[in-house]
Amino acid sequence: MNILLFGILLFALAFFVHILIWKIHLPKKNHTCFLLNIFFGLFIIGIFILPAQRLSDYIQAFLLYLSLMLAYIISYSAIEVDSPSLIIVLNIAGTGCGLSREELNKQLTDDLLVLPRLKDLLNDKMVFMEENKYKLTKKGVFLVKIFIFFRKILNAGKGG
Amino acid sequence: MKEIIIASVPIIGLFVNALIQVLSFRFFRHLGLLKSIFLGVGAGFFVLVLLSLILSQQWIISIFVQGLTYIALSYCYFHFINLGQTARRIRILREFYDAPNGLSCEELLMFYNSKEIIERRIERLLAGKQIIIKNDKYYIGNSFMLLAARLLVVLKIVLLGKKSEFDKKT
């Protein structure tokens, strides 16, 4: 039970530090990188204060902490970026009298749905521009290959 | 050695989860993605409980701790699948990958644009009955997605001080 408490308390502490930092000074970009620094920082501190005697206790406590950390950081992107499905649902709910496809198409343009994500890719150095054409960097190729490989295993299409 | 196996039970569970999910999605297509994910999560959890019962003396606590770790890892795996399925950034990267000479912004928008994004989301929302269609207009169906959307807006306000990525910070 100590392991469970330790893992959850350490995660709660890291989450509190994250909220505190965000309230004092919200990072302009690379939120994920900041989050990783905060959570790994607390992880290192945790190694020295964990009251465990067996190796398995250490592994279990930190596996719990790391899995909670990963789950939170993955979810954070939904907070950072507006999801099209959620915008659609909120817009439909906002009218009260229904919304047609034409109205949705007018509200949700490429400027809202596609171009900000292209800008993110440029900022994250996944994509670069050469002679007015966007091309993938090595980092971009590496990432997309992971997803292509997995989509092939699933025998699924391009997605999006 | 036994200690390390006990500690690795959530990882073993995750491996079983991924294996069952992939196999069921590939070979039982009619199940659909969501059901294959649930099947994988269930199979992984079953293995986790079984291993905890066999290996651990304090199996109730073990299932509790390992179960929580496993659920968090399964959630990450679900997001990984979801990224490949719905993420716009991954899809844009895919379009660039398929064009070795690169694409201009206009060319990208020919292959992937807001209309396609809306089309796919509307299909999924209709299939999940989160929205319904009446007289060519969309209305909220079951309110789960609306609740999730509102919860996310609250989290955005708490964490980022704004309702949307396009708003200026309040």
Q: What is the pLDDT at residue B56? A: 80
> Mind telling me how many Å the CA of A117 is from chain B's nearest CA?
6
| Whether residue B82 is found in the same domain as residue B105 | no
Tell whether B170 is covered by a domain: no
Q: What is the pLDDT at residue B118? A: 95
pLDDT band at B20 (very low <50, low <70, confident <90, very high): very high
| Whether residue B70 is found in the same domain as residue B129 | no
| Whether residue B78 is found in the same domain as residue B135 | no
Residue type, position B154, single letter: V
Of B64, B86, B108, which one is at a domain's C-terminal end?
B86
CA-to-CA distance for B26 and B30, rounded, in angstroms? 10
The answer to whether the Cβ–Cβ distance between B121 and A4 falls below 8 Å is no
| Chain B contact for A7 (CB, 8 A cutoff) | yes
The answer to whether the Cβ–Cβ distance between B92 and A117 falls below 8 Å is yes
Split into its structural domains, chain B has a count of 2
Domain range for B73: 2-86
Of B58, B86, B114, which one is at a domain's C-terminal end?
B86
| Whether residue B53 is found in the same domain as residue B121 | no
| Whether residue B149 is found in the same domain as residue B125 | yes
| Whether residue B10 is found in the same domain as residue B28 | yes
Dihedral, CA of residue A78, residue A82, residue A86 and residue A88, to nearest 10? -160
pLDDT band at B169 (very low <50, low <70, confident <90, very high): low
> Average pLDDT for residues B118-125, to the nearest whole number?
94
Q: What is the pLDDT at residue A160? A: 65
Asked if residue B132 has pLDDT above 60, the reply is yes
ipTM of the complex: 0.86
CA-to-CA distance for B65 and A4, rounded, in angstroms? 6
The answer to whether the Cβ–Cβ distance between B145 and A100 falls below 8 Å is no
Walking along chain A (160 residues) 10 residues at a time, the average pLDDT comes out as 82 93 87 92 86 78 92 90 92 90 93 94 93 94 94 80
Per-residue pLDDT tens over the stretch B80-118: 998 888 899 999 999 999 998 999 999 999 999 999 999
| Whether residue B78 is found in the same domain as residue B96 | no
**A61 Cβ neighbours under 8 A, 6+ residues apart:** A3, A6, A7, A10, A46, A50, A52
| Whether residue B108 is found in the same domain as residue B63 | no
The number of C-beta contacts closer than 8 angstroms across A and B is: 239
| Whether residue B10 is found in the same domain as residue B76 | yes
